[in-house]
């Protein structure tokens, strides 16, 4: 019995006459796992078959799409965003261009805390409406899964409100959302000068309530001299581990604070930013399941000059993911495609590494399987691109080559 006949008698969707960017290891002999003159078939939102057009099984299917020779890739995954927030930080952008640093602004009560004030004041519905607009903007360029962090509440009530907005987004849009609890993003005004006391509050009040309500898929923090120390993060992570939540960390963004080693030792999902990552800790990453997530949007916006150690990560064979870090302060750039371009132009990733960074490796950074590649048994999340070569996805910006988007085999109209 051949592969096609085993699984089903009919297909819900067939896309034929496409170049498949599978990113599948089996096709790794060719760049991008490219399969030319191909077709792909879906049943119940899952890929049932893919291969050369000539070999397409002759099953009945009411929905046959002619891809007209275009390229079909897995849906893109934005594995690091702060998509739920209110207010604007345009004035700070101006302050920075007048010579003030991100750190100085934060120390004077601006930065993250100014977004905290606006987010606390905003209603659930205001936040949801803003988040919907932003998620749709990402989706129009092919994003089918978004990670969203809390962290602009910094009290139990508002952290819960943010995570509830992220949860509601999955109901209002046909998109997969992963929710991350980022209570340890900054010290709120109520705990000024008492960051240890704030960590206690997160451990004893916020995290247990968030968990009880089932609102978080992971726990994150900002391990930095203007955030929390490695020891403070270790305390919070110990509680996360106790309740079975995976951890991840904003690490080595502004200095080498040892956050990556902490999260790698705990086999956390990801260590994110990493401009100041040392050789020793690159090696540590290679011995863990933790995925480095590069965030070129923040690097660019903060006019950072210290580059993440991409060559070392390659040398140690560590898969690199890329996120937008979409947020109002350090990365007000709501485009994962722009991040692919910047990962290439600023961090010197190859276009193939950039695409892997927003698909297969982004899935790994979120602990997700069955997404991020075109493979039998994987979720039918597809982008159809009107391009001449897969590298064009990183090469151009400002033109949107996405012609169609499917999530779980359903067409998305955006």
Residues annotated within a binding site for Zn(2+): 80, 82, 250, 325
352 near Fe ion (CB under 5 A): no
- Judged by CB under 6 A, the number of residues near ligand NIG is 14
Residue 330 contact, options ligand NIG, Fe ion, none, Cβ 5-8 Å cut-off depending on partner type: ligand NIG
Stretch that binds Fe ion, among 45-53, 125-133, 317-325, 341-349 (CB under 5 A): 317-325
CA–CA distance, 353 with 337 (Å, rounded to integer): 13
Q: How far is the CB of 164 from ligand NIG (least distance, A)?
A: 20
Q: Is 329 in the site for ligand NIG (CB under 6 A)?
A: yes
Q: Shortest distance, CB of residue 341 to ligand NIG, whole angstroms?
A: 19
To which residue do tokens 């020891």 refer? 231
- Contact flag: residue 327 with ligand NIG (CB under 6 A): yes
Cα 170 to the chain's mean position, in Å? 15
Binding residues for Fe(3+): 80, 82, 250, 325
What is the SS3 assignment for 166? helix
Spatial separation of the C-alpha atoms in residues 21 and 38, rounded to whole Å: 10
Do the Cβ atoms of 298 and 326 come closer than 8 Å? no
Report, in Å, the least distance between residue 270 CB and ligand NIG: 12
| Residues of this chain, 71-90, that bind ligand NIG according to CB under 6 A | 82
Distance CA(222)–CA(242), nearest Å, equals: 20
Q: At 270, phi and psi to the nearest 5?
A: -155, 155
Closest CA to 142 of 407, 405, 326, 408: 405
Binding of residue 112 to ligand NIG (CB under 6 A)? yes
Smallest gap from Cβ 296 to Fe ion, in A, equals 12
Question: Binding residue for ligand NIG (CB under 6 A) from 158, 253, 257, 260?
Answer: 253
The CA angle 383-335-250, to the nearest 5 degrees, is 115
Task: By CB under 6 A, tell whether 356 contacts ligand NIG.
Answer: no
Does 78 participate in binding Fe ion (rule CB under 5 A)? no
- What is the 3-class SS of 350-394, one letter each residue? CHHHHHHHCCHHHHHHCCCCCCCCCCCCCECCEEEECCCCCCHHH
For the chain, how far is it from start to end, CA to CA, in angstroms?
41
> For residue 139, what are its two tokens?
């989706």
What is the spatial distance between Cα 294 and Cα 369, in angstroms, rounded to a whole number?
20
Shortest distance, CB of residue 243 to Fe ion, whole angstroms?
Answer: 23
Q: Is 324 in the site for ligand NIG (CB under 6 A)?
A: no
Q: Decide whether 257 or 331 has the Cβ nearer to ligand NIG.
A: 331
Q: How far is the CB of 222 from ligand NIG (least distance, A)?
A: 5
Name which position in 111, 246, 357, 401 contacts ligand NIG (CB under 6 A): 111
Q: Work out how close the CB of 358 gets to ligand NIG at its nearest, in angstroms, rounded to a whole number.
A: 17
From CA 162, how far away is CA 285, in angstroms rounded? 31
**Does residue number 217 form part of the binding site for ligand NIG (CB under 6 A)?**
no
With contacts defined by CB under 6 A, name the span among 108-116, 241-249, 260-268, 401-409 that binds ligand NIG.
Answer: 108-116
Q: Is 222 in the site for ligand NIG (CB under 6 A)?
A: yes
Taking CB under 5 A as the rule, does residue 325 contact Fe ion? yes
Asked if 181 touches ligand NIG (CB under 6 A), the answer is no
d(CA 217, CA 180): 6
- Other CB atoms within 10 A of residue 358 CB: 30
Whole-number minimum distance, CB 325 to ligand NIG, in Å? 5
* CA dist., res. 146 & res. 135, Å (int): 8
The one of Fe ion, ligand NIG, none whose footprint includes residue 361, by CB under 5 to 8 A per kind, is: none
Residue selected from 325, 352, 353, 373 as contacting ligand NIG according to rule CB under 6 A: 325
Question: Over 83-130, what HEC string results?
Answer: CCCCCCCHHHHHHHHCCCCHHHHHHCCCCHHHHHHHHHHCCHHHHHHH
Return the one option of Fe ion, ligand NIG, none that residue 290 interacts with (CB less than 5 to 8 A, by type).
none
Q: Is 220 in the site for ligand NIG (CB under 6 A)?
A: no
**Residue 297 binding: pick among ligand NIG, Fe ion, none (C-beta 5-8 Å cut-off by kind):** none
Encoded tokens for 84: 């739920």
Residues contributing to the site for ligand NIG (CB under 6 A): 82, 111-112, 115, 222, 250, 253, 298, 325, 327-331
Residues contributing to the site for Fe ion (CB under 5 A): 325
């Amino acid at each position: 019995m051949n592969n096609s006949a085993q699984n089903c008698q009919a297909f819900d969707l067939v896309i034929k006459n496409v170049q498949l960017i599978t990113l599948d290891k089996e096709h790794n002999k060719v760049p991008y796992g490219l399969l030319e003159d191909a077709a792909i078939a879906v049943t119940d939102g899952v890929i049932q078959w893919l291969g050369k057009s000539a070999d397409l099984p002759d099953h009945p299917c009411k929905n046959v799409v002619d891809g007209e020779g275009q390229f079909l890739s897995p849906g893109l995954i934005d594995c690091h965003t702060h998509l739920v927030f209110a207010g604007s930080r345009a004035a700070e952008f101006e302050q920075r261009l007048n010579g003030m640093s991100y750190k100085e602004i934060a120390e004077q009560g601006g930065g993250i805390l100014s977004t905290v004030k606006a987010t606390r004041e905003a209603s659930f519905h205001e936040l949801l409406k803003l988040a919907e607009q932003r998620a749709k903007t990402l989706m129009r360029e092919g994003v089918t899964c978004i990670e969203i962090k809390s962290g602009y509440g910094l009290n139990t009530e508002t952290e819960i409100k943010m995570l509830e907005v992220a949860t509601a987004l999955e109901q209002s849009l046909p998109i997969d959302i992963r929710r991350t609890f980022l209570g340890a993003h900054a010290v709120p005004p109520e705990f000024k000068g008492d960051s240890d006391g704030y960590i206690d509050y997160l451990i004893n009040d916020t995290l247990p309530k968030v968990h009880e309500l089932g609102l978080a898929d992971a726990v994150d923090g900002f391990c930095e001299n203007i955030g929390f120390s490695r020891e403070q993060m270790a305390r919070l992570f110990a509680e996360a581990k106790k309740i079975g939540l995976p951890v991840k960390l904003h690490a080595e963004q502004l200095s080498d604070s040892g956050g990556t080693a902490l999260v790698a030792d705990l086999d956390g999902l990801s260590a994110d930013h990493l401009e100041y990552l040392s050789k020793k800790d690159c090696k540590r990453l290679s011995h863990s399941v933790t995925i480095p997530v590069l965030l070129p949007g923040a690097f660019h916006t903060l006019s950072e000059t210290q580059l993440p150690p991409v060559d070392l990560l390659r040398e140690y064979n560590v898969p690199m993911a890329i996120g937008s870090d979409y947020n109002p302060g350090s990365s007000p750039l709501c485009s994962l495609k722009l991040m692919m371009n910047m990962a290439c132009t600023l961090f010197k990733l190859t276009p193939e590494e950039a695409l892997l960074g927003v698909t297969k490796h982004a899935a790994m950074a979120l602990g997700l399987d069955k997404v991020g590649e075109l493979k039998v048994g994987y979720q039918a999340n597809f982008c159809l691109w009107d391009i001449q070569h897969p590298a064009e996805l990183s090469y151009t910006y400002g033109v949107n080559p996405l012609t169609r988007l499917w999530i779980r085999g359903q067409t998305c109209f955006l």
